[in-house]
């Protein structure tokens, strides 16, 4: 669960910021003409979040020699995705992105239901491995929303709003890592090496 904990801690805060302020990211990088892509970015970030939840499952299932079981779930996921995307295509690109999120949710749940018992891990243990990443993600998302609100109220340009959000989120992200102790432990090891 250490690897899953690390993946959650690294990825979830970044994805949470994209979910929280996709308009700021899109307009800040590409301009107002692309603002309609913000909904798609939000959906893709949610889908990536679901993928992160079961990122290591495929390798674990293969190592356990259970590839056929995974293949069944992958085919089920593909079928759901195909139908959902086909139906959503009539509505528009954002609907297609959210259809993919729905399909990704089914795959995440299926893969976790497959791999957790194989690994002897309970759902409670899996959630515990996600906890630090989720808490940091919440802090980063709230920071992004707050800074976007303040930057907009100050009349900053889209580029400056993005810069303020990125810098503020980076500070919260770094502080979160520090509080988990990873940076502190690494800094201590480096300091110890420097003394010897």
CB-count exposure of residue 190 (10 Å: 0-12, 13-18, 19+): exposed
Domain that holds residue 149: 2-195
User: Cα–Cα distance between 162 and 173 in angstroms, integer?
Assistant: 16
Cα 77 to Cα 108, 114, 162: the distances in Å are 9, 14, 35
* Number of domains observed in the structure of the chain: 1
pLDDT tens sequence for the chain (196 residues) = 677 888 888 999 999 999 999 999 999 999 999 999 999 999 999 999 998 888 778 888 888 888 888 888 889 889 999 999 999 999 999 999 999 999 999 999 988 988 899 889 899 998 888 888 899 999 999 999 999 999 999 999 999 999 999 999 999 999 988 777 655 555 556 667 766 5
């Amino acid at each position: 669960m250490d690897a899953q904990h690390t993946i959650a801690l690294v990825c979830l805060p970044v994805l949470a910021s994209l979910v929280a302020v996709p308009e700021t990211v899109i307009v800040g990088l590409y301009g107002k003409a692309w603002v309609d892509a913000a909904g798609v970015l939000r959906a893709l970030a949610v889908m990536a979040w679901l993928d992160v939840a079961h990122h290591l499952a495929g390798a674990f299932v293969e190592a356990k020699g259970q590839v056929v079981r995974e293949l069944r779930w992958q085919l089920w996921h593909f079928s759901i995705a195909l139908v959902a995307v086909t139906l959503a295509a009539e509505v528009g690109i954002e609907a297609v992105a959210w259809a993919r999120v729905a399909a990704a949710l089914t795959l995440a749940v299926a893969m976790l239901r497959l791999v957790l018992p194989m690994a002897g891990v309970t759902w409670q243990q899996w959630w515990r491995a996600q906890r630090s990443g989720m808490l940091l993600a919440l802090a980063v998302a709230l920071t992004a929303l707050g800074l976007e609100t303040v930057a907009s109220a100050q009349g900053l340009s889209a580029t400056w709003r993005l810069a303020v959000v990125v810098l503020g989120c980076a500070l919260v992200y770094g502080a979160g890592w520090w509080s988990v102790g990873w940076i502190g432990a690494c800094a201590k090891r480096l300091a110890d090496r420097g003394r010897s």
